[in-house]
Amino acid sequence: MTEQFIRNCWYVAAWDHELTPGKLFPITICDVPLVLYRTDAGEIVVLEDRCCHRMAPLSLGRIEDGCNLRCMYHGLKFNTAGTCIEIPGQDKIPTTAKVTRFASAVRYDWIWVWLGDEHTADLSALPKAQHEPGEGYLYRRGHLDYDANYELLNDNLTDFSHLSYVHAASFMATDVWADTRPEVKAIDRGIRVTRWFGPERAPIRPESQSAERLQGGASNYAMYQTYDYLAPGILLMYASIHDPAVVPTPRPSGAALPKLSVRIDLQAVTPISQKRTRYFFNAAVREIDGGEPMADSALQITEMAFAEDRAMIEGQQKILDLRPGNEMLTSADVGPVQFRAALRRLRAAEARKETANA
């Protein structure tokens, strides 16, 4: 649970809308204090939140000239590259007067930060969903902080068998999540998890509003769910409900079939420190599947579910703090095991690179 953080990776740092002009946005990722802001020209700047002079937080500073950042302790001023361009009362500016700048990107309304060397930032490693919400989708967004290591959240999200127990109340999940196994396959930087449900065994109890609506009045339905889970902890999920009569056998990808409804969930797990994690989530439904009330309901149920997860995962962290131990894997652990292997490969690659550079 306290393995080294991966640095050569894109981490979600903030919601795009959180970066309003003139505002300094601090967040610590993997123990690295960062400050984010948007210049008047719209550029996103991510700097280490630590002045090179005396380590004061730049997030207590001031944006000047619409783009530069002045430390408000002793007045050093930095440009968007992190280079110091002014030391009050001193003409000469040493070449060491700079703070680390980090590469950033925007996708899915998130601001992503590459924690490794800025010049090695690899846009091809930026997570991309199989199916993205496009026109006609309604979004609902939130985030939640956990007092737990981020890998406990990864374990949770790479194995949905917990839905039957943890989310029996919120999602009204039935036992089928725990009793059956999804198809899990290793993909680049993570895993792909796919399932078809029913109609013989419904994944959601019939008294659920969600189930009622999803069935569209039909007496039964089939559900397709597929998600990629990518380093460091990004869930990109697509789920659709189908009339079983129109689902051929063998069952193909649900996305290509006519569907009664669609839901897309995009989630990001960002380690703040070894024991604290921020969890960002975005639930999107099609406007034609129930409009704003349906979108509100989706968010409400999601928030209820994540409160359930948090209670369990923070409890797990407390137990692990008291008595760490060796877990005992089950056949439901294919997802967690494969995803951890993916993280291990990334860590090993990073270690090799550091050795090569040393």
Smallest distance from the beta carbon of 185 to a copy of itself, in angstroms? Answer: 19
Beta bridge partners of 101: 47
Smallest distance from the beta carbon of 141 to a copy of itself, in angstroms? Answer: 27
Comparing CB distances to a copy of itself, the nearer of 33 and 141 is: 33
Smallest distance from the beta carbon of 256 to a copy of itself, in angstroms? Answer: 28
Comparing CB distances to a copy of itself, the nearer of 71 and 241 is: 71
Comparing CB distances to a copy of itself, the nearer of 129 and 191 is: 191
CA 72 to chain centre: 33
Smallest distance from the beta carbon of 325 to a copy of itself, in angstroms? Answer: 6
Comparing CB distances to a copy of itself, the nearer of 128 and 318 is: 318
- Cα separation of 205 and 136, whole Å? 28
Strand 84-86 to strand 101-107: parallel, antiparallel, or no bridges (unpaired)?
unpaired
- Cα separation of 32 and 236, whole Å? 26
Comparing CB distances to a copy of itself, the nearer of 87 and 257 is: 87
Comparing CB distances to a copy of itself, the nearer of 179 and 287 is: 179
Smallest distance from the beta carbon of 212 to a copy of itself, in angstroms? Answer: 26
Residues of the shown chain interacting with a copy of itself in the complex, contacts defined by CB under 8 A: 28, 31-33, 49-50, 52-57, 59-60, 70-76, 87-90, 94, 96-97, 155, 159, 161-162, 164-166, 175, 178-181, 311-312, 315-316, 318-320, 322-325, 327-332
Smallest distance from the beta carbon of 27 to a copy of itself, in angstroms? Answer: 12
DSSP-derived secondary structure for 188-217:
TTEEEEEEEE-SSS-SB-TT-HHHHHHHTT
DSSP-derived secondary structure for 228-268:
EEETTTEEEEEEEEE-GGG--SS---GGGS--SEEEEEEEE
Comparing CB distances to a copy of itself, the nearer of 52 and 211 is: 52
Q: Give CB contacts under 8 A, 24+ apart, made by 325-331.
A: 331/181
Smallest distance from the beta carbon of 74 to a copy of itself, in angstroms? Answer: 5
Tally of residues, the chain: 358
Smallest distance from the beta carbon of 352 to a copy of itself, in angstroms? Answer: 24
- Cα separation of 280 and 268, whole Å? 5
The residue to which tokens 């889970």 are assigned: 229
Give residues with Cβ within 8 angstroms of 25, minimum separation 6. Answer: 14, 18, 19, 35, 36, 37, 59
Say which DSSP state 6 is in: P
- Cα separation of 140 and 128, whole Å? 19
Comparing CB distances to a copy of itself, the nearer of 61 and 254 is: 61
